């Protein structure tokens, strides 16, 4: 069913955008606003702004913006009604349930519930069931303490085909949806437990909701690790295991440690490295990085030091550069994984390895150097060619220069040579983002004529709207007529939206509500940006500026109308061969142009 508009308004008015955004993005107070690192694009200095007063967010870096609903939709991949319901639920506002069984939001909620019930089932089994004796012994042997087992809600999925099925049925949980969440499998018409005789690691999202599970085989079953299949809640390449438990420590410590496996993660937490997260047997992805970077300035990789581990680090280098995330590589002795290392050498030793972590670029250059003979000119050339594309992708020019000097020292060649190789790399295939960016820019760049024709009028139009947003009570009929004459289409639409509100009810513009009505992204972005931004220039005499600008728009329009009419008449006179009319018309045209 459709949620009534007054409900939506009520929910939006009662929700606190600062509080909701804070659950995902650490925010700091800055003047009247709150700022943080944008979760929607790569950045190091915060340009993501949330205003308490207007209940909107806007990123000056990438232009993402909107109200509390828009934020949840983007952040959690929700539809509009889902976002509204999610917030309503937190506020305890009752919305009649969506009776359509296919309703997505309903299904998600029920799948979360199924996962939660399953987590409790597995966990209780591990703690108390006699059948879980082997699992308990196994975890003890691996060195896990009871507290960590409780903290991470580790469990045991019993052997047998339908223990969980029966439990879920008893609790009134839909088996269809449990199957969709990846807990069960279905053959013909029957449901079976997907995970059997396995140690179970529930995987939580940042809000502590169970999105999936990883199951470690106790016997020799294959696969050794069985993860939940891809589901509406679980996407393997996006999930950061341990994020919920690590997020506070990560923002306190200023860096996050990233490991590959479940036991590595658990053991690091057990030894006090609470800022540790894990990828789930997959390589690090851009989605992982984007989830992490709101919480931390730096990422330390802590992988096995075998060849595969090193290759994984180098493979992720470009991604770190493109996302502009600082990364360091923790090197541990070969043949040990972090879990072994902790149990053999302890936390103090681990801390030392972590403190010695090298920036990922240095790690890369070192491994390149050990691979090539940089004494020969062939070796030098290969070194330059292989490193240049990476150096070219460093976003900060000062940092780039540090590496240009380093390479010049390693190869004993002039920094100018290094620089020109890097410049060349920037323009070729590898620096694709650069090339594409350039092409985009060319495609979107208006011609000089367009700029000259539009610049002044757009500026006047923008000023009118800015004043209207800041001082809505100044609205009058001439503003209305001026907006009708706007040349710039999206400004005209923005103006109509604002005026629509002013004509309807109040002398107040609820921007958070207005953006839901704006269908054009450009309109939305413009409105958000200028509601957040403070334009000092209009503060002095808003009333007078508004009058002047409106007059300007109206005069220009009249002028344009008149001249185009004259031109038309002129052409007709020329066609008729009416030389007298032609002369007078062209004189008045020219005098108008000069005026």
When the beta carbons of 62 and 93 are compared against Zn ion, the nearer one is 62
What residues numbered 56-75 form the site for Zn ion, per CB under 5 A? 59, 61-62, 64
Query: The tokens of 214 are what?
Result: 């990883």
Which window, 55-63, 109-117, 293-301, 579-587, contacts Zn ion (CB under 5 A)?
55-63
| Minimum gap (Å) between residue 28 Cβ and Zn ion | 16
When the beta carbons of 64 and 177 are compared against Zn ion, the nearer one is 64
Q: Which residues does residue 203 pair with via DSSP β-bridges, in sequence order?
A: 212
| Minimum gap (Å) between residue 290 Cβ and Zn ion | 11
Query: The tokens of 571 are what?
Result: 């052409």
| Minimum gap (Å) between residue 325 Cβ and Zn ion | 14
When the beta carbons of 59 and 325 are compared against Zn ion, the nearer one is 59
When the beta carbons of 74 and 209 are compared against Zn ion, the nearer one is 74
Q: Which helix (H) or strand (E) holds 59?
A: strand 56-59
Measured at the CA of 52, the angle between CA 50 and CA 53, to 5 degrees, comes to: 125
When the beta carbons of 67 and 460 are compared against Zn ion, the nearer one is 67
Q: Which of 482, 537, 472 is nearest to 507 (CA)?
A: 472
In whole angstroms, what is the distance from residue 368 CA to residue 346 CA?
Answer: 32
Which window, 30-38, 75-83, 430-438, 511-519, contacts Zn ion (CB under 5 A)?
30-38
C-alpha distances in Å from residue 329, one per residue of 57, 320, 357: 35, 12, 5
Based on the shown chain and the rule CB under 5 A, indicate whether residue 160 belongs to the binding site for Zn ion. Answer: no
C-alpha distances in Å from residue 445, one per residue of 448, 451, 454, 457: 9, 9, 13, 18
Based on the shown chain and the rule CB under 5 A, indicate whether residue 41 belongs to the binding site for Zn ion. Answer: yes
Which window, 5-13, 39-47, 315-323, 516-524, contacts Zn ion (CB under 5 A)?
39-47
> Helices 377-392 and 307-323: crossing angle, nearest 10°?
50
| Minimum gap (Å) between residue 293 Cβ and Zn ion | 12
Cβ distance 234 to 211 under 8 Å? Answer: yes
| Minimum gap (Å) between residue 584 Cβ and Zn ion | 58
Based on the shown chain and the rule CB under 5 A, indicate whether residue 38 belongs to the binding site for Zn ion. Answer: yes
| Minimum gap (Å) between residue 40 Cβ and Zn ion | 5
| Minimum gap (Å) between residue 61 Cβ and Zn ion | 4
When the beta carbons of 48 and 263 are compared against Zn ion, the nearer one is 48
| Minimum gap (Å) between residue 248 Cβ and Zn ion | 24
Which window, 37-45, 423-431, 512-520, 549-557, contacts Zn ion (CB under 5 A)?
37-45
When the beta carbons of 3 and 62 are compared against Zn ion, the nearer one is 62
Count of residues interacting with Zn ion (CB under 5 A) = 7
Which window, 33-41, 106-114, 317-325, 496-504, contacts Zn ion (CB under 5 A)?
33-41
When the beta carbons of 17 and 200 are compared against Zn ion, the nearer one is 17
Based on the shown chain and the rule CB under 5 A, indicate whether residue 37 belongs to the binding site for Zn ion. Answer: no
| Minimum gap (Å) between residue 37 Cβ and Zn ion | 9
Which window, 40-48, 223-231, 302-310, 352-360, contacts Zn ion (CB under 5 A)?
40-48
Which window, 51-59, 270-278, 348-356, 428-436, contacts Zn ion (CB under 5 A)?
51-59
Strand locations in 125-254 (E): 155-157, 184-187, 190-193, 198-204, 210-217, 225-227
In sequence order, the 6+-apart residues with CB closer than 8 A to the CB of 569 are 581, 585
HSE-up of residue 312 (Cα within 13 Å, Cβ side): 20
Which window, 32-40, 255-263, 504-512, 571-579, contacts Zn ion (CB under 5 A)?
32-40
Q: Is the peptide bond before 223 cis (omega within 30 degrees of 0)?
A: yes
When the beta carbons of 40 and 263 are compared against Zn ion, the nearer one is 40
Which one of residues 20, 24, 37, 40 is an interface residue with Zn ion (CB under 5 A)?
40
| Minimum gap (Å) between residue 389 Cβ and Zn ion | 26
- Cβ burial of 192 (10 Å; 0-12, 13-18, 19+) is middle
| Minimum gap (Å) between residue 84 Cβ and Zn ion | 24
What residues numbered 481-540 form the site for Zn ion, per CB under 5 A? none
Q: Which of 57, 53, 54 is nearest to 72 (CA)?
A: 57
Which window, 35-43, 135-143, 167-175, 423-431, contacts Zn ion (CB under 5 A)?
35-43
Q: Which of 129, 120, 138, 192 is nearest to 158 (CA)?
A: 129
When the beta carbons of 38 and 425 are compared against Zn ion, the nearer one is 38
In whole angstroms, what is the distance from residue 424 CA to residue 53 CA?
Answer: 49
Q: DSSP 3-state assignment of 28?
A: strand
Query: The tokens of 511 are what?
Result: 């921007």
When the beta carbons of 58 and 383 are compared against Zn ion, the nearer one is 58
Q: Which of 45, 20, 37, 64 is nearest to 289 (CA)?
A: 37
- Cα-atom radius of gyration of the chain, to the nearest Å? 31
When the beta carbons of 51 and 387 are compared against Zn ion, the nearer one is 51
In whole angstroms, what is the distance from residue 71 CA to residue 19 CA?
Answer: 12
When the beta carbons of 71 and 263 are compared against Zn ion, the nearer one is 71
Q: What is the residue whose two structure tokens read 């007059």?
A: 551
Measured at the CA of 557, the angle between CA 554 and CA 558, to 5 degrees, comes to: 85
In whole angstroms, what is the distance from residue 572 CA to residue 581 CA?
Answer: 10
What residues numbered 259-288 form the site for Zn ion, per CB under 5 A? none
| Minimum gap (Å) between residue 25 Cβ and Zn ion | 10
When the beta carbons of 38 and 509 are compared against Zn ion, the nearer one is 38
| Minimum gap (Å) between residue 55 Cβ and Zn ion | 19
Query: Which residues contribute to the site for Zn ion (CB under 5 A)?
Result: 38, 40-41, 59, 61-62, 64
């Amino acid at each position: 069913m459709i949620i009534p508009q007054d409900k939506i308004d009520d929910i939006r008015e009662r929700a606190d955008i600062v509080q909701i955004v804070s659950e995902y993005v650490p925010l700091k107070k800055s003047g009247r606003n709150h700022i943080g690192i944008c979760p929607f694009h790569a950045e190091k200095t915060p340009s993501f702004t949330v205003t308490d007063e207007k209940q909107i967010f806007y990123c000056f870096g990438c232009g993402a913006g909107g109200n509390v609903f828009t934020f949840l939709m983007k952040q959690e991949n929700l539809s509009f009604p889902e976002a509204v319901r999610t917030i309503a639920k937190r506020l305890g506002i009752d919305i009649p349930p969506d009776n359509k069984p296919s309703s997505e939001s309903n299904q998600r909620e029920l799948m979360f519930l199924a996962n939660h019930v399953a987590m409790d089932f597995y966990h209780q089994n591990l703690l108390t069931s006699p059948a879980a004796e082997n699992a308990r012994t196994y975890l003890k042997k691996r060195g896990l303490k009871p507290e960590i087992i409780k903290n991470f809600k580790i469990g045991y999925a019993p052997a047998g085909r339908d223990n969980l099925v029966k439990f879920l049925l008893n609790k009134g949980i839909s088996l269809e949806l449990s199957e969709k969440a990846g807990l069960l499998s279905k053959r013909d018409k029957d449901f079976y437990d997907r995970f059997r005789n396995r140690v179970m690691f529930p995987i939580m999202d940042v809000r502590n909701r169970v999105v999936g599970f990883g199951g470690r085989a106790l016997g020799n079953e294959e696969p050794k690790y069985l993860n939940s299949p891809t589901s509406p809640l679980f996407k393997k390449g996006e999930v950061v295991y341990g994020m919920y438990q690590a997020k506070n420590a990560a923002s306190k410590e200023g860096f996050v440690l990233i490991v590959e496996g479940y036991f590595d993660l658990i053991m690091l937490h057990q030894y006090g490295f609470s800022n540790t997260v894990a990828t789930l047997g997959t390589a690090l992805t851009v989605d992982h990085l984007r989830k992490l970077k709101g919480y931390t300035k730096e990422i330390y990789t802590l992988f096995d030091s075998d060849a595969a581990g090193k290759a994984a680090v180098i493979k992720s280098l470009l991604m770190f550069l493109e996302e502009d995330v600082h990364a360091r590589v923790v090197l541990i002795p070969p043949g040990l994984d972090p879990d072994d290392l902790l149990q053999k050498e302890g936390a103090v030793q681990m801390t030392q390895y972590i403190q010695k972590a090298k920036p990922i670029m240095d790690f890369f250059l070192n491994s390149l150097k050990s691979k090539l003979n940089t004494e020969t000119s062939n070796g030098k050339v290969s070194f330059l060619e292989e490193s240049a594309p990476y150096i070219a992708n460093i976003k900060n020019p000062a940092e780039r220069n540090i590496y240009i000097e380093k390479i010049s020292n390693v190869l004993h060649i002039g920094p100018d040579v290094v620089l020109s190789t890097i410049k060349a790399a920037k323009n070729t295939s590898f620096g694709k983002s650069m090339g594409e960016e350039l092409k985009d820019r060319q495609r979107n760049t208006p011609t000089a004529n367009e700029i000259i024709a539009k610049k002044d009028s757009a500026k006047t139009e923008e000023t009118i709207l800015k004043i209207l947003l800041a001082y809505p009570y100044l609205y009058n009929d001439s503003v209305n007529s001026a907006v009708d004459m706007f040349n710039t289409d999206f400004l005209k639409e923005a103006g109509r939206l604002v005026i629509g509100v002013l004509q309807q009810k109040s002398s107040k513009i609820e921007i958070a509500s207005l953006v839901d009505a704006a269908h054009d992204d450009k309109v939305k972005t413009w409105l958000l940006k200028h509601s957040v931004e403070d334009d000092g220039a209009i503060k002095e005499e808003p009333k007078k500026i508004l009058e002047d600008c409106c007059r300007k728009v109206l005069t220009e329009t009249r002028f344009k109308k008149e001249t185009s009419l004259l031109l038309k008449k002129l052409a007709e006179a020329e066609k008729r061969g009416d030389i007298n009319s032609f002369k007078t018309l062209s004189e008045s045209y020219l005098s108008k142009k000069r005026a």
